[in-house]
Amino acid sequence: MGIEQLSEETLLITLPEDPQSSNDLERAVDMTRADANVSVIVDMSLVEIMPSPMLSELMILEKQLGNSGRQLILCSVPPSIMKLFITVGLNGLFTFSDDQTTALQLLRSGHCCW
């Protein structure tokens, strides 16, 4: 869990079971504010709950990255969490992928926004 620099241009954040127990999203917002040349992959495979403050952090990160021409991809989103995104109407705001490998391929191909 935590933040990992996959390349000069890509950060990977692996969220814990309860994302509120971590400040990784907040740190990523600060890091991408300081370095506007990175895209971010958020691995949600361990997440069991998604409190509203975490949704807010994801929206801030998405906007900040989008404003600098970079991307945010959420991968390995559990069905219960995906249902939450759909229910609150945020599934159209974010880019999703099945796993980290697919997310990296989307970033490299430049076709990650649909």
Q: What is the residue type of 56?
A: S
In the three-class reduction of DSSP (H, G, I as helix; E, B as strand; rest coil), residue 111 is classed as coil
How far apart CA 87 and CA 70 sit, in angstroms, is 26
**pLDDT category, 114, cuts 50, 70, 90?**
very low
**pLDDT category, 1, cuts 50, 70, 90?**
low
In a domain, 114, yes or no: no
| Phi, psi of 87, rounded to the nearest 5 degrees | -60, -40
In the three-class reduction of DSSP (H, G, I as helix; E, B as strand; rest coil), residue 103 is classed as helix
Task: State mean pLDDT over 36-59.
Answer: 91
CATH number of residue 101's parent domain = 3.30.750.24
In a domain, 77, yes or no: yes
**Tell me, what's the pLDDT at 102?**
95
Task: State mean pLDDT over 80-90.
Answer: 94
Task: State mean pLDDT over 92-96.
Answer: 95
Structural domain containing residue 69: 2-109
Mean pLDDT, the chain, as a whole number?
88
- Structural domain count of the chain: 1
